[in-house]
Amino acid sequence: MSHLNDAPIGVFDSGIGGLTVLKALWEKFPTESFVYLADTARIPYGTKSPEAVTQYAQQICGQLIRHHRIKALIVACNTASAHALPTLQQEFSTIPVLGVIMPSAMAAVSATQNQHIAVIATEGTVRSRAYEHAIAALNKNVRVTTQACSLLVSLVEEGWLEGEITDRIIERYLHSLFKENNTPDTLILGCTHFPLLKPRIEYYLGKSVFVIDSASNVANETLHVLQQRELLSTQTRKSTQFLVTDSPERFIATANIFLGETLAENTVQHISV
């Protein structure tokens, strides 16, 4: 049994989208503790260079390991997963470091029947071609079609999870992906904001398309890794600490949309990295 068993799991995102991953982790691990760090001072990562994103991610990971003694790190950000994950896994090799891209890619490759997968994500993630590379590494015969859907991020952060405007924007984005004869039969929600729109996306697509969200798949992969390394908690209690690199007020106001509960002010701490 490792001395790290009862240490917290670190979850890192550039902002609040990773809260969908945290919520899935809460459901999967009722006795684990977590530290969630949102680099809100430098959001969005999607407009930054790969080098800058990697530097930010190294700083965040170092902060969580040095000051919070985490036993595992979940990079709950598609852009950081795309650009920084190999560097983080090499530099911080004493703990498991997991991203959000490969778990979803694995689930999609297993699910597709016609070997055609669609990915919707932010512009930065689409430009990185991270999902194409991950899927090709698993099965080079699978076709991947991507679509940048950055406006969906704003809808989620405004709390517009349903309604006519939301449905029309979803239709506008997805129509071009699913209008051909050989349409994808599997869709990856390649942004951690998008699971909150999954019901409306599934409603538009119907039952012929299997929709995969990163949150649940990352939680499943985390369970597998912690079991494999014998790092599961031995405690019956849990806690979550929230850290932000900018003012906590906006984070607290928006977190309710993602978590379904209001965070107390004293649970969110401003830090510098």
- Give the active site residues: 77, 191
Question: What DSSP string describes 125-166?
Answer: HHHHTHHHHHHHHH-TT-EEEEEE-THHHHHHHTT--SSHHH
Q: Residue 240 in 3-state DSSP?
A: strand
- CA torsion, points 169, 82, 80, 16, in degrees to nearest 10? 30
Q: Are strands 268-270 and 143-148 parallel, antiparallel or unpaired?
A: unpaired
Instruction: Give the orientation angle of helix 248-259 with respect to helix 19-28, to 10 degrees.
Output: 50
Residue 36 near residue 75 (C-beta atoms within 8 A): no
Element (H, E) at 186: strand 186-189
Q: What is the 3-state secondary structure (H, E, C) of 42-73?
A: CCCCCCCCHHHHHHHHHHHHHHHHHHHCCCEE
